[in-house]
Every structure is written in C-alpha cells, then in structure tokens.
Amino acid sequence: MTDTDIFGKQVPVLIRNVSLNGKIQEIYLDGTGMIGAVGEKITDHDAEFIIDGDGATALPGMINMHTHSPMGLLRGYSDDMQLFEWLSTKIWPTEAHLTEDDIYWGAKLACLEMIRTGTTTFNDMYFKMEQIARAVDESGIRACLSYCMIDGGDHAKFESEARVMESTVKNIKNMNNPRVMPGVSPHAVYTVSKEGLTWCSEFAKKENIPLHVHLSETEQEVTDCVAAHGMRPPAWLDHCGVLSEQCIAAHCCWLDADDISLLAKRGVTAVHNPISNMKLAGNRALPYPEMKAAGVNVALGTDGASSNNDLDMFSEMKTAAILQKFFWNDPTVMPAADALKIASPNGANALGLNAGVIAPGHLADLVLVGRNPLNVPAFNTDSNAVYATSGLAVSTTICDGVILMHDGIIPGAEEIMEKAGSVAFDLVRRATAP
Ligand SMILES: C[C@H]1O[C@@H](n2cnc3c(N)ncnc32)[C@H](O)[C@@H]1O
Ligand SMILES: [Zn+2]
C-alpha cells in the first residue's frame, strides 16, 4: 500500500536500491527539484521519504518531442487512412468542434497517460494552449506548448492567427511556472503562407523560444513544395528564416543529402516519429544514419494519439530502433544506447533543459521501471529498457522532484479517465450531427 502523503510535494527523497548505469545505487533528490547526489551509499541527507526501489531500473524521464496532446480524445476514432484524407475528412472537421473544456480534458488524459508510461516532458503543438497549460500545471509534468498556426495562404486569417500566437505566448509566460514553457508553431509548409512562416520565425527569435513545425512527412509534401516554390521543404523553410537552433522539426522522413546538410548547418533538431510514420505509411524513415553522421540533433516523439495510438515512449524507442535497422537493412543502426539518447537527453538539449541525465545538479525528472519479468535477467539494462519494456512497466514517475506516480498509483486517475471518455463521445456526437 502506498502512503498517499508521498505525492505532489517537493521534499527531499532518497531512492535506494535502484539499478543505474548497470550498478545498484542510491539517488537523492534535494527537495528543490534537483538531483542532489548519486552514489552507492548516500549518508548525508535529510530525506523525508525513502523509496526502496527493490532493484528497479532508474532512467531519466522520457521527453516526447512531438505530440498533439488533446488528440487522445480521438484515439481510435479514425484509423487506416491516407494522411491528407485523414486530416481533411476526419480530424480537422472534428477539431473544429473542440471546446476549451474538451481540450483541457484531452490534455489531462495525455498528462495522465504520459505519467503512467514514464514521460516527464512533452513538446506540444495544438490549439487553445492555455487549457493545455492548465492541465500541465495541475498534472505536475513539464511541457513546451505551441499554438499551431494554420493560415491556408489567407492574409486575414494570418493576421488573426498571429494575434492568437502572441496572446498564447504572453498568457503562458504570465503563468510564471518554469515547468510550462511557450513555443511557436507554424503547422507545415503546406498549410502556412510565406508571410506566416516568416512571421513565426521572427516572433520565435524575438521571444527566444522554440519553434515547432512538421517537415517533409510525405513525398507529396515535397513534390508540392517544389512545384509551388521551386525548393524542397527544408530550403523553403530556410528561405523563410525558420531553420535555426530554435527549430524543432517533426517527421523529417523525405530528406535528401542537401536537406540533411542544411538541417545540420542550421542546428535544427529533427524529431523521429516512427509509429505515426509507419501507421500512416509515409514509406520513408527519418534518415538516421546520415543525420547522425552529419551531426544533426535527433530526438523522439509519438505524434498525436490518433495516429499512434498511444503516447508510450518505451514502445516508441523500440519501434525507432527496429524500424531503423529494418529500413536501412543494417542491424547495427540505432543501438539501444542511441534509442535512449534520442528519447531523453537530445530532447532536453533542444528545449534547453538541464534534464535527460541522472546526475547531481540535473533536474529531478526520472522514472523507475519496477522489477518485472521483462527486466530479468539484467545482462544489459539499456537493452531491456529499449527492446523489452513497455511504458506500463514504469512504476514510479518523478518530475521536478515531485512524485507523480508511485507503485503504479496516480492520485485522481479515475476521474480523468471517466471525464475524458465522456467529453470525447460528446465531441464526436456534435461533430457528426446532421
Ligand atoms: C496541430 C495540428 O496538426 C494536426 N496533425 C496531427 N497529426 C498530424 C500529422 N501526422 N501531420 C500533420 N498534421 C497533423 C492536428 O490534427 C492539428 O490540426
Ligand atoms: Zn504531428
């Protein structure tokens, strides 16, 4: 039975008897949201709680670098379609009916799912971000939240979208919660005008915050961009000033050698979304071997839960590693250590967070994978974490030094599932009413 006092507080905690980097160690959280010490025996501490890990594996919390958190409301609503048809006939018409309450409960469900499956930070692109910010604030996890601009080439729409972008960033900054960070997001080259892309890049620079965009997800996107602008999508984004170290580009499937060198030169972070790409059959995998060789920072994301259909970064790591091997016909591509790197520290780098590493002086964002049949034997805990673990094997999730889940228990989980399930049915009923 878990002591309910353990949840929701930033107090000193000692975690004993966990496997970290292949050794049984102790981890001390200093009560200010940071890791205070790591070692075989920590004696100098003021712990208010002591957690016995019972041999659990400790890992940095997963960082989901591309998602649309409220889309869990549409999990299983529409599957097995072509990307553009899926967006234009199913997803966008339903999203047009989303209320603030829907977005809030969708984001609450996503935060719950992420805490349950070991994610402590996510990079989100959606609408009505203040509602998502409220859910993130209450849930205790960390997020970078970007309003998604879609202007469809219409100047008046661009103007109104730019005003929403400005107020969203202002409102999120005004929350003064270091766990809730604002970003800027033009949806993609096929949905945002040149003026929209240029404005977003200038605004992100002025505010000094990340810019989150979809890039080269399908072959159609590339051929249409070349037909419209005489340039492939990365060159077109660069022409509009979008590519920089602040830029986080999701998908990056259809890239050629010039595209890769351009992304490397500009310091862009590319996000691999293997499950969504395979489910929507984009027919290309992010060119990880070439991108790694070129020095591109590659991170990992699930995409929304209506094209995945979950937010489990452990299954995403496994899929990334096995897709890369299969697609490039080379089992040495993306070893387990690389999968762990793209799933946490590389995302932390892109967001400018001192996270992704369990060491003193880093943010206390970490998870424990409890002892279970999948981590026996422990020849190689990295290998087990990537190739033999599901997010549901995570037993404890800690973000900012606060325990959000312990022994699989998350206070308030039942109410969130109940409410999110009912708003989802109500949304689809409204959206499909004659
Ligand atoms: C933020 C916006 O992005 C849309 N969206 C969700 N999944 C994808 C995808 N794979 N590619 C492009 N857009 C997507 C959402 O449905 C929302 O409209
Ligand atoms: Zn996406």
d(CA 253, CA 271): 10
Q: Is pLDDT above 70 for 341?
A: yes
Q: Which of 79, 214, 272 best tests ligand 1's pocket when mutated (most atoms within 8 Å of CB)?
A: 214
- Give Dmax over CA atoms of the chain in angstroms: 67
On the 0-12 / 13-18 / 19+ scale of CB atoms within 10 A, 422 is exposed
Measured from the Cα of 273, ligand 1's closest atom is: 10
> pLDDT tens digits, residue range 283-339?
999 999 999 999 999 999 999 999 999 999 999 999 999 999 999 999 999 999 999
Residue intervals of the chain classified under CATH 3.20.20.140 are 62-351
Q: Is pLDDT above 90 for 1?
A: no
Give the pLDDT band of residue 425 (cuts 50, 70, 90): very high
User: Hey, what are 190's tokens?
Assistant: 């096929």
User: Hey, what are 348's tokens?
Assistant: 């932390």
Q: What is the mean pLDDT of residues 74-90?
A: 94
> pLDDT tens digits, residue range 59-72?
999 999 999 999 99
CA 36 – ligand 1 centroid, Å: 40
Pocket of ligand 1 from Cβ distances under 6 Å: 68, 87, 91-92, 95, 125-126, 148, 187, 214, 217, 276, 303-304, 307
Give the pLDDT band of residue 433 (cuts 50, 70, 90): very high
d(CA 309, CA 307): 5
- Do 188 and 153 form a contact (C-beta atoms < 8 A)? no
> pLDDT tens digits, residue range 229-265?
999 999 999 999 999 999 999 999 999 999 999 999 9
| pLDDT given at position 2 | 56
Domain 62-351 fold is TIM Barrel (3.20.20)
Number of Cβ within a 10 Å radius of residue 223? 12
Q: List residues, by chain if needed, whose CB lies under 5 Å from ion ligand 2.
A: 303
Q: Quick one: DSSP state of residue 86?
A: I
| pLDDT given at position 216 | 98
Give every strand in the sheet of 247-251, ordered side by side: 62-67, 119-126, 142-149, 180-186, 211-215, 247-251, 269-272, 297-300
Mean pLDDT of the chain: 97
Q: Is pLDDT above 70 for 3?
A: no
> pLDDT tens digits, residue range 212-222?
999 999 999 99
Q: Name the CATH architecture for the domain at 4-59+357-408.
A: Roll (2.30)
Measured from the Cα of 125, ligand 1's closest atom is: 1
Residue intervals of the chain classified under CATH 2.30.40.10 are 4-59+357-408
| pLDDT given at position 94 | 97
Q: What is the mean pLDDT of residues 124-131?
A: 98
pTM of the model: 0.98
Long-range contacts of 2-6 (CB under 8 A, 24+ apart): 2/406, 2/407, 2/409, 3/49, 4/411, 5/49, 6/49, 6/403, 6/406
Ligand nearest to the CA of 86: 1
Q: Is 217 annotated to bind ligand?
A: yes
135-139, 177-181, 364-368, 376-380: which range is least confident on average?
A: 376-380
H/E element, 212: strand 211-215
> pLDDT tens digits, residue range 117-126?
999 999 999 9
Q: Is 66 annotated to bind ligand?
A: yes
Do the interacting molecules here have an ipTM over 0.90? yes
Share of the chain above pLDDT 90, in %: 96
> pLDDT tens digits, residue range 273-284?
999 999 999 999
